[in-house]
Structure 1
Amino acid sequence: MYKKALPAALAAAALAALTLAPAAPAAAATGELIEVIHTYTETVKESNSSFMCPANEVMIGRAHYGDENGKTTYRCGRIYVNGEQASVELATTKTLRERDSYYAIAGDAAIIGRKHIGDENGYTTYYVGRMFWQGRTVRLATWQWDEYLIESNHSSRAGANRVMTGREHVGDENGLTRYEYSTLQLGAPSGPNR
């Protein structure tokens, strides 16, 4: 019995050490150091709202409480490569009916803003930006969806050095929402398709 308990105890200690260790900046495939730093937060009324991250920033989180008359909070961050801020340029927009919507960016870009009109039967527009550093494209390396959350009472934020690249919403304010976050790399081709 002691032999079984010891490996489990060691595994638990190793997991605790990993959990408590601070996240290090991501090293790109070409050796650059990429960091995403939270710099801006704003709260707006959900219905009939339009939000854009400040210039050269991307979305890294969203929270919402209540129905369409409730409050939505957006979190934005700056991307730094080797300590120098990357630029972000508006590339496209995508408008979907809010109820039962699914949006995941195709290509190397991140969500930089969101507009929502009405309730769950209204429409949501996503603003998408491409990221550049010294004339090179900042690309997506991995994509991961988080767990479903209740739309009317949730907060979601990207992990270290990740940016928001998708959102899915099912139903009304009592329905489910989840987000896709992606890590970044520079000067290497994008990872495999989702």
Structure 2
Amino acid sequence: MNSNLVHATTPNSTVPGTITLYGKTGDVSDPENDSNAHCVIEVLPGGTGRTVDYMLTNPASACFQLRVESISMENMPPATQVLLTDDYFCDTMLGNDYEPKLDPSTNKNFWIKLKTGAAGSILAEQSISALNKKGFLSNQAEGKVTKGIQLVDMAQSGSAQEMTHTLSCVRVTTSSNKDTKFGEYLSTGNQTWTDKWREGDEDHAPKKECNVGVMAGRFHYGDEQGDTRHLCTEFDRKVVIEKTPWSPMFRECGIPLTGRYNSDKGRYQDCNEADGVGWDNTEYRYFSCPVDEVMVGRGHAYQKYGDTDDTGADHGDENGRTDYRCAKLYEGVESESNRISVLPGPWSPGHTEDGSKGNGHWDTHNGEFTCAPNEVLVGRAHRGDEKNITRYQCAKLRLPAR
């Protein structure tokens, strides 16, 4: 659940507000599961006028695979809205399906809208299923008393049980005020495709980065032996690029809903282990860069490296490990006051990784994806093999307010 305190204007407080999610990992149907865990979201300051989505399905998130039971808030900025939903993308359209095992994307059984009052609002730890009545909340827990938190609206299509272990997305919208200023959008400049390489070829170094600029597109055609290139873009002014560490590695092929729980390893089978993985029973792994960072590189095909994980060998194909590198951007000089804000857009429609028609539902294509003008890449998702589907997420960039 990566975040930082980039803002469009001077914040109202130098102490960040926080949202803490509590729950379990592993098999939540096991009555002996005592894997109590939590993760923390840092909230942008009041007056920034920003909306940030925190997807719990992001493998780079500290909340990845946390099955949430309860929530608390501390030192929240004023007039901040918090949307809790079991939709992967923070949508509020409800559905009727409920599958408790791995919380697939078809679970769309509730949404809750909270709003803070004065600065410093607090929510004492409260179960998600207990957030079911409009009005100001008044619970107490662990010596803390809720103050200034209002449940504005909510809806559910199933029972309270279907609100437990299914939270998938948290959307935080901070307020603007008379002092809020927004910088201009940053325009991209010269764009260049990298040289081709075969993604599954173990003779190539697996990590590929833009030597100049950041990623604004990707080309891949065919299976893991097909050609791959990155589209790297510069900008219309001096921008300092501070690359951050590579993301955790994860298997490219997605989350198998047929996977069995392995008690010895304390996790469900991954997509390179499970049987019967196909079109309709595999979820995407939606990787997106941390808040206010953009994509500059991707790694794949680590078969000649011995540091594999406990799911099995890496053969460089769709079952292989993938990681990404992101970067912070600064206008002119590397300084927090010059930090560029990143405003992600919606995920692209899916298309097959290898360019084929794909299960009869996706059109053939030439393998090339590019973001819209003046946008850059911040996310990529995939499931299955090369004949299955890839999606991308692009973002606009906003210069610091002057």
Q: Which residue in the other structure is 1:37 paired with?
A: 189
Q: Structure 2 unaligned runs (5+)?
A: 1-180, 255-284, 302-315, 356-366
Asked if 1:144 corresponds to 2:346, the answer is yes
Asked if 1:128 corresponds to 2:306, the answer is no
| Whole-Å separation in 2 of the counterparts to 1:143 and 1:114 | 20
Instruction: Provide, for residues 47-97 of structure 1, a one-character-per-residue CA deviation record: whole Å limited to 9, x for no partner.
Output: 143311014x110001111111111121010123xxx22011111211221
| Whole-Å separation in 2 of the counterparts to 1:33 and 1:108 | 14
Q: CA RMSD in A?
A: 1.7
Offset, 1:38: 4.0
Among 68, 86, 90, the alignment partner of 2:224 is 68
Contact residue 99 and residue 170 of structure 1 kept, 8 A = yes
Contact residue 61 and residue 156 of structure 1 kept, 8 A = yes
Q: Which has the higher helix share?
A: 1
Q: Which has the higher strand share?
A: 1
Contact residue 132 and residue 138 of structure 1 kept, 8 A = yes
Offset, 1:35: 0.9
Contact residue 152 and residue 173 of structure 1 kept, 8 A = yes
Q: Which residue in the other structure is 1:168 paired with?
A: 381
Asked if 1:53 corresponds to 2:238, the answer is no
Runs of 4 or more above 3 Å deviation: none
Contact residue 185 and residue 397 of structure 2 kept, 8 A = no
Contact residue 108 and residue 139 of structure 1 kept, 8 A = yes
Q: Structure 1 unaligned runs (5+)?
A: 1-27, 189-194
What one-letter code is carried by the residue in structure 2 that aligns with 1:40?
T
| Whole-Å separation in 2 of the counterparts to 1:131 and 1:35 | 13
SS at match of 1:92: coil
After TM superposition, the structure 1 = structure 2 runs for residues 98-117 of structure 1, keeping only pairs within 5 Å, are 98-100=252-254, 101-117=285-301
What one-letter code is carried by the residue in structure 1 that aligns with 2:289?
I
Asked if 1:87 corresponds to 2:240, the answer is yes
Instruction: Provide, for residues 148-192 of structure 1, a one-character-per-residue CA deviation record: whole Å limited to 9, x for no partner.
Output: 01100121101011110000001000010010000010226xxxx
Q: Which residue in the other structure is 1:96 paired with?
A: 250
| Alpha-carbon spacing, 1:145–1:38, altered in 2? closer, same or farther (3 Å) | farther
Task: Report how many aligned residue pairs link the two structures.
Answer: 156
| Whole-Å separation in 2 of the counterparts to 1:181 and 1:38 | 18
TM-score, reference length from structure 2? 0.37
SS at match of 1:113: strand
What one-letter code is carried by the residue in structure 1 that aligns with 2:326?
V
Contact residue 188 and residue 375 of structure 2 kept, 8 A = yes
Q: Which residue in the other structure is 1:77 paired with?
A: 233
What one-letter code is carried by the residue in structure 1 that aligns with 2:394?
Y
Offset, 1:37: 2.2
SS at match of 2:186: strand
Contact residue 344 and residue 393 of structure 2 kept, 8 A = no
Asked if 1:155 corresponds to 2:356, the answer is no
| Whole-Å separation in 2 of the counterparts to 1:108 and 1:33 | 14
| Whole-Å separation in 2 of the counterparts to 1:102 and 1:73 | 21
